């Protein structure tokens, strides 16, 4: 929804579910019995790209229990691994978390997820007042992914020549913005 202001900020809200989950609530991905639902913005099947400068101005929700994220997945996520497997291609498709805020801590994460002989996470943390507006961004090119908050770089991941098995990050990705 939009917040009604002159600038028309998009707002994603979380709602506690009383009773049974709605039929269209989707899969339960958490360990908390899926007692909450929220919306999300997703460009899968609509907009994807390889490399670029990506940013969003975001204000985090107050209170614990929220898990807002501005992230990307490889467009090949729904392809099968091979003819013998019927599974999604994650982490083989790659994931770039431009901003992920977990457990109401005073920091955000910038992380990539990929497969290099098993699931791999690498990333950095940036400490800030998460309840104010900040600009979260990456510069993603054939050599690296650089993570920024308000123009301050805090983490760089080398992907040149598929360093460390990072070939996923030379494919098309799409956006997700969710709570």
Q: 75 by DSSP, 3-state: which?
A: helix
Which amino acids are annotated catalytic?
A: 95, 100
Q: How far apart (Å, rounded) are the C-alpha atoms in residues 171 and 153? A: 23
Instruction: Give Cα 9 distance to the centre of its chain.
Output: 19
DSSP characters for 125-136?
EEE--TTS-EEE
Q: 67 by DSSP, 3-state: which?
A: coil
Mention every residue, 6+ apart, whose C-beta is less than 8 A from residue 119: 91, 113
DSSP letter at 24 equals T
């Amino acid at each position: 929804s939009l917040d009604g202001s002159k600038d028309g900020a998009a707002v994603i809200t979380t709602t506690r579910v009383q009773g049974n989950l709605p039929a269209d609530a989707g899969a339960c991905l958490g360990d908390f019995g899926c007692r909450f639902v929220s919306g999300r913005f997703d460009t899968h099947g609509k907009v994807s790209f390889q490399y670029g400068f990506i940013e969003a101005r975001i204000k985090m929700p107050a209170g614990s229990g929220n898990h807002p994220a501005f992230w990307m997945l490889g467009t090949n996520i729904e392809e099968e691994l091979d003819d013998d497997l019927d599974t999604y291609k994650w982490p083989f498709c790659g994931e770039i978390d431009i901003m992920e805020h977990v457990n109401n801590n005073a920091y955000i994460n910038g992380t990539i997820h990929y497969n290099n002989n098993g699931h791999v996470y690498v990333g950095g943390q940036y400490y800030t007042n998460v309840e104010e507006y900040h600009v979260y961004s990456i510069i993603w090119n054939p050599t690296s992914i650089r993570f920024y908050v308000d123009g301050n770089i805090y983490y760089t991941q080398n992907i040149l020549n598929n360093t460390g098995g990072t070939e996923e990050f030379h494919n098309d990705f799409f956006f997700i913005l969710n709570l």
